[in-house]
Amino acid sequence: MGCHCILAENMAINQTNCGLKAKEPGTDYFVFFSLANLVRWLQHNVHGMVLDTITTPTLEETSSFRPPLRLMRRFGETVAPMVGRNLAGLRQARRLTALHDALLPKLISGELRVPDAERIVRRCV
């Protein structure tokens, strides 16, 4: 219900999802984090019904604060390194999970010995 994310790579989506792109270069992160607040506001301000989806007409009818372009770009420059570190950590966790899933069965079965697995891990990390 009202979930949102920022895509780290190209992706296809189906008709039940909406994709938003900032109009101005350098303001994607401002739009993303503003949307987080907007989603929470929409979830808390529905009257007498359950909010299953946030539709395009709902977004079109909603207004929000828009600071000067230079501030939105500055915000993006400020948060970009933090988002980048978060993404790097997520990618590393994904690699380590795949490595774990590949090595553990081989270690348990005896097909691979611990020293050999340690060498593989050092090369991959």
- Give the model's pLDDT for residue 15: 75
What CA–CA distances, in Å, run from 24 to 12, 21, 73?
Answer: 23, 9, 9
Amino acid found at 7: L
Instruction: Considering only residues 66 and 93, tell me which one the structure prediction assigns the higher pLDDT.
Output: 93
- Asked if the model's pLDDT at residue 62 lies above 80, the reply is no
Quick one: pLDDT at residue 19? 79
The number of helices, as runs of H, and strands, as runs of E, in the chain is: 4, 0
Give the pLDDT of residue 48: 46
Is residue 2 within 8 A of residue 39, CB to CB? The reply is yes
**Residue whose structure tokens are 């988002």:** 83
What is the mean predicted confidence (pLDDT) over 115-124?
Answer: 84
Residue 29 contacts residue 76 (beta carbons within 8 Å): yes
- 50, pLDDT greater than 70: no
pTM of the model: 0.69
> pLDDT tier at 61 (50, 70, 90 boundaries)?
confident
How far apart CA 66 and CA 123 sit, in angstroms, is: 48
Domain ranges of the chain: 28-124
Residue 123 has pLDDT above 60, yes or no: yes
CA 95 to chain centre: 17
Name the nearest CA neighbour of 6 among 88, 87, 95, 93.
87
Is residue 84 pLDDT above 60, yes or no? yes
Say yes or no to pLDDT of 53 above 90: no
Stretch 37-47: mean pLDDT, rounded? 69
* Mean pLDDT estimate for the chain: 83
